[in-house]
């Protein structure tokens, strides 16, 4: 299993095996996507949007409605405003 060590500046070198598997070359960008279980996955940013298909799928969580999404977004925005006012 490939491993890497982080430097004091927060930098890591992606092991060659991983670079090859992800088709990363010099200048490639990667995204760190947080999964529902708290873990992260590394996704090449140069890939297709279809590469993200299923990344956030959680079969144990029922789908939510557009109305619920809008309510959740409004709640989060209000919470953000309240926190910024307390600074």
What was the pLDDT predicted at 16? Answer: 96
What was the pLDDT predicted at 47? Answer: 60
- How much is the pTM? 0.49
Low-confidence stretches of the chain (pLDDT beneath 50): none
SS3 of 31, please? strand
- Domain-wise residue ranges, the chain: 16-85
Is the four-CA dihedral 26, 51, 37, 33 of positive or negative sign? positive
What was the pLDDT predicted at 14? Answer: 94
What was the pLDDT predicted at 23? Answer: 87
């Amino acid at each position: 299993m490939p491993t890497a060590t982080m430097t004091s500046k927060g930098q890591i070198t992606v092991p060659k095996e991983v670079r090859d598997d992800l088709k990363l070359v010099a200048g490639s960008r990667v995204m760190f996507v947080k999964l529902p279980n708290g873990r992260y996955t590394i996704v090449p940013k140069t890939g297709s949007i279809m590469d993200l298909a299923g990344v956030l799928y959680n079969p144990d969580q029922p789908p939510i409605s557009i109305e619920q999404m809008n309510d959740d977004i409004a709640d989060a925005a209000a919470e953000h405003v309240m926190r910024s006012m307390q600074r």
